[in-house]
Chain A
Amino acid sequence: EAGVAQSPRYKIIEKRQSVAFWCNPISGHATLYWYQQILGQGPKLLIQFQNNGVVDDSQLPKDRFSAERLKGVDSTLKIQPAKLEDSAVYLCASSWGGGPFEQYFGPGTRLTVT
């Protein structure tokens, strides 16, 4: 079974630029998550999709972050404009449904904002 795919793996941008991350979840997984993990901390949930609807985006900085999940499969996370404090690893995860299922994580995108 193929795992969660993410791209790019690394990205370096200057502050005020924009960036987009892409995620392809495990086939058949209805729920998709985007997390932000700052160095030395645990992942923090940014947004959770159930199929192509948003279940929770309470911790998403909506003035600069946006995310979509087209057709309930792939998802993109965008930051515009980026700030220095956005430097982090962005993790995508998926699970079978919205219940207490284990989440499968992708390798992440390491973003450096200079």
Chain B
Amino acid sequence: SQQGEEDPQALSIQEGENATMNCSYKTSINNLQWYRQNSGRGLVHLILIRSNEREKHSGRLRVTLDTSKKSSSLLITASRAADTASYFCATDGPGGSNYKLTFGKGTLLTVNP
């Protein structure tokens, strides 16, 4: 079963615009990660945010986590055509010691030049 649900399923924007994707999950988590997948580079880790963190930045990426609402968002600023890809959130927990990841279905982002 899939824990995370990304929203929207698909998003199309123009180069230079910002893109926001959301992830909601059902049960409490230890950590949440975002991954990107495109045909050229496969599945690549973007950022990890722990359950006691509220916001993290990495380059043009900004991730927020609201554990009270069981949701996270990924913001990509000043998008580029190369950002075209599917974006997945993945959660681990609750509890446990193996940090097993459960992926959502993903958001397909298309950045038009």
Contact = CB atoms under 8 A, between A and B. Distances in A.
B30 interface: yes
Contacts of B42: 91, 105-108
Interface string B23-54: 00000001101000000001111001010000
A41 B103 CA distance: 9
Interface stretch (A16-24, A61-69, A75-83, A94-102): A94-102
B106 A42 contact: yes
A83 B68 CA distance: 42
Contacts of A48: 98, 100
A98 B2 CA distance: 21
Interface residues of B, number: 24
B108 to A, nearest CB: 9
Contacts of B104: 42
Contacts of A103: 45, 101
Nearest to A93: B43
B99 A100 contact: yes
Interface in B74-89: 88
Given A100-B50, A105-B43, A105-B44, A42 B100 contact: no
Contacts of A40: 105
Among A42, A45, A56, A102, max chain B CB count under 10 A is at: A42
Given A102-B48, A105-B43, A42 B98 contact: no
Interface of A: 40-45, 48, 50, 55-56, 91, 93, 98-108
B98 A98 contact: yes
Contacts of A45: 100-102
Contacts of B90: 42
A42 B35 CA distance: 10
Contact of A55 (B43, B50, B98, B105): B98
Contacts of A55: 98, 100
A50 B97 CA distance: 12
In the A-B complex, list the 5 residue pairs whose CB atoms are closest, starting with the nearest: A42-B103, A102-B45, A105-B43, A100-B31, A55-B98
